[in-house]
Amino acid sequence: MKYKAILENQETDGYTVYVPSLPGCVSQGKTAEEAMANIKEAIEVYLESLRERNLPLPRVHEEEVAV
């Protein structure tokens, strides 16, 4: 399954990345590449936690909007 990750450059240092469809799934890194690698791991841990607790996996529905 694919999840959209939002990568934000922080003014002070590094990057923050989060997954809107997985509330609380957030990570960071000193580089964009490190942050993206970290969020992949965070997604895996997030989903495994849901499976262990027999909770449903989030259904993802995304649409792009142009403004």
Separation of alpha carbons 50 and 27, rounded Å: 18
CA 33 vs. chain centroid, Å, equals 13
Q: Is residue 60 part of a domain?
A: no
What is the spatial distance between Cα 39 and Cα 18, in angstroms, rounded to a whole number? 7
Q: What is the CATH number of the domain that holds 44?
A: 3.30.160.250
- 26-44 tens-digit pLDDT: 999 999 999 999 999 999 9
pLDDT category of residue 17 using cuts at 50, 70 and 90: very high
Number of domains in the chain: 1
Domain holding 27, by residue range, is 6-52
Give the burial class of 62: count Cβ atoms within 10 A of its Cβ; 0-12 exposed, 13-18 middle, 19 or more buried.
exposed
15 three-class SS: strand
* Residue 62: pLDDT over 80: no
- Domain membership flag for residue 58: no
